[in-house]
Structure 1
């Protein structure tokens, strides 16, 4: 594991320092990257007591470019929160309804061979209770490994789910499926009459000042962290992703802006919609509308994690503490340990 470590600290005017000593956060990050054999990462803690960012390792093995505070990472399923926020804005504006049938909202797609798609409603996509099978099948993974840039990057990705069995009854169970969010991105684009990337720019990125975030990424961009597995650099698979299930390449700072805009400041959605978003599904206490929910010894939390080949992300917000914890890395960890558990204990106390 590269020994390079860089510490960056930014104070928020009028607030004190983060309770945890900065060298402790740095050691937690350094140790985690070393133990999990990850190339690099960034850790951000932000709340009423202050803001701290620590980074470690390398963003690109070629030339040994280090991770910096403004390094951009693919964040996989963390992007589902942005997709949900855009769709729920359309619900607030009366462009969509949670009870609308998917077959009406995506009537331009051939859904007849997609199990449950003709019976599911919008809310079932948002909380993963549709039973629609995941498009990420063995065939999809083979095609993606061979030619990621040539895969469809719209609702037609669902063709990979054609003929697969439903995971359960519509509205009667919980089963996480990326197909749900491909459909949501397609529906959002159709309602606004622009490509999905533009929907996210108009409704999320510009409203929150996420100036370092893009939908997909240009491989020539030197601000990017490259993702690594045992195969080597597998970044292009992730940079080509632009559908609603995992569209964002971003920075820890931009994710901080997003989390506060959504959950703390009601700048993306009204308070009533945020409460609905944070209401547990009837089928799964840990699932809201586009967000994961939990209660641990530090309080109730909302957020999302993300994992794909070469990249992982974990974004948590604790409403009772008004604090965000964010971890991004350009590799896949070996264990099931969560760095942010250790960070929360350091910041909030045991």
Structure 2
């Protein structure tokens, strides 16, 4: 069964889950659970009319709270419902992790580097790391950017950690560094043939790290200087030295606290990047206008049954309207950024709560855009 590209999130493989079944069996009984997932409180902040629309759009979606920024070519508003800690209402300026929405930023960074002539879509990992050999050395940056490299979803270390951290709500990426990710990938068998879409966090981590290696600057600095700063996204930061003091308390699907995901190697794939609904709204608005650095990333390169795949971005025709966007999730958050360029509409939805359906914020975003 093909992977639904509208659910680009971080999860383990079925094979490794089976190998770790004994661990799961021993730990599951010890893990506390909640009878019902968290639901938003009556708290509301921001634009009252948008808050009411948001409450209606999330009526059947679990989560302790939801924040949104939305608008079109002439208007914009933001609002939030629910809480992020006892006695603290969620706002559209509350920072949280954004998960794989980061891949959209990495795709823009890649496209910007291509436009500057610093790399090409056909640049290989062997060009960046001359000591590499074998299939990985021949892997192009565009194959990484479109999930067609054949690489597995996770690095070896993260895949081995994922079944246990799925129970404990811990950080499966804590050991990932640019160096050990490259070593892992060099001897990891390909999961599928090159050219075939297969979602890979490992691939995107390698893409961002390769750009940093080729351009001679750390990934967090590159994405800040070339993408975030031009878009005015001052509240967004990759791999911050100190986590935002006012960040949301993130909860897993059953309401237990979720540990922040931090990693020096997997940041470009969506680990340890923080933003707000307001800041992601700036990104969505720029996508709607086609005024983002590296706008080439928005254009589909690979077609799947569910969507066109660009460099970190998805596109599809829904009800006669072409939508462009990206989703993200960790154990304790969900995020979605979507735009309708033909109408100028845009929306960004965040929720500091995990879910068994990681596309929940996409559903909310589409409802706010008036899409099925």
Please, what TM-score do these two structures have when normalized by structure 1? 0.81
Cα-to-partner distance string for 1:215-242 (whole Å, 9 max, x where unaligned): 1346663321121124822232258785
Matches for 1:86-101 after TM superposition, within 5 Å: 86-101=109-124
Does residue 180 in structure 1 map to residue 203 in structure 2? yes
Structure 1 partner of 2:246: 223
- How far the C-alpha of 1:79 sits from its partner, in A, is 0.5
2:299 to 278, 283, 299: 278
Structure 2 partner of 1:195: 218
SS in 1 for 2:225: helix
Structure 1 partner of 2:344: 322
Does residue 266 in structure 1 map to residue 316 in structure 2? no
Does residue 156 in structure 1 map to residue 180 in structure 2? yes
- How far the C-alpha of 1:22 sits from its partner, in A, is 3.3
2:92 to 69, 89, 97: 69
Please, what TM-score do these two structures have when normalized by structure 2? 0.77
Let me know the Cα RMSD of the aligned residues: 3.0
Structure 1 partner of 2:270: 246
- How far the C-alpha of 1:9 sits from its partner, in A, is 2.3
1:291 to 310, 313, 321: 313
2-structure distance, mates of 1:219, 1:190? 24
2-structure distance, mates of 1:202, 1:186? 16
1-structure distance, mates of 2:176, 2:347? 34
Deviates more, 1:144-153 or 1:162-171: 144-153
Does residue 25 in structure 1 map to residue 86 in structure 2? no
2:45 to 1, 4, 7: 7
Contact 1:6 1:55 in 2 (8 A): yes
- How far the C-alpha of 1:330 sits from its partner, in A, is 1.2
Structure 2 partner of 1:82: 105
2-structure distance, mates of 1:189, 1:346? 37
1-structure distance, mates of 2:343, 2:332? 32
1-structure distance, mates of 2:324, 2:163? 34
SS in 1 for 2:82: strand
Cα gap change, 1:156 to 1:111, in 2 (>3 Å): farther
Does residue 305 in structure 1 map to residue 327 in structure 2? yes
- How far the C-alpha of 1:2 sits from its partner, in A, is 5.1
Structure 2 partner of 1:138: 159
1-structure distance, mates of 2:260, 2:53? 31
Pairs aligned (count):
326
- How far the C-alpha of 1:40 sits from its partner, in A, is 1.6
2-structure distance, mates of 1:178, 1:53? 31
Q: Which structure 2 segments of 5+ residues have no match?
A: 1-38
Cα gap change, 1:240 to 1:234, in 2 (>3 Å): farther
SS in 2 for 1:31: coil
- How far the C-alpha of 1:147 sits from its partner, in A, is 6.8
Structure 1 partner of 2:76: 51
Cα gap change, 1:41 to 1:131, in 2 (>3 Å): same
Contact 2:284 2:347 in 1 (8 A): no
Contact 1:77 1:305 in 2 (8 A): yes
Cα-to-partner distance string for 1:150-208 (whole Å, 9 max, x where unaligned): 5234352354556543122222x110101111111111111221111111111111111
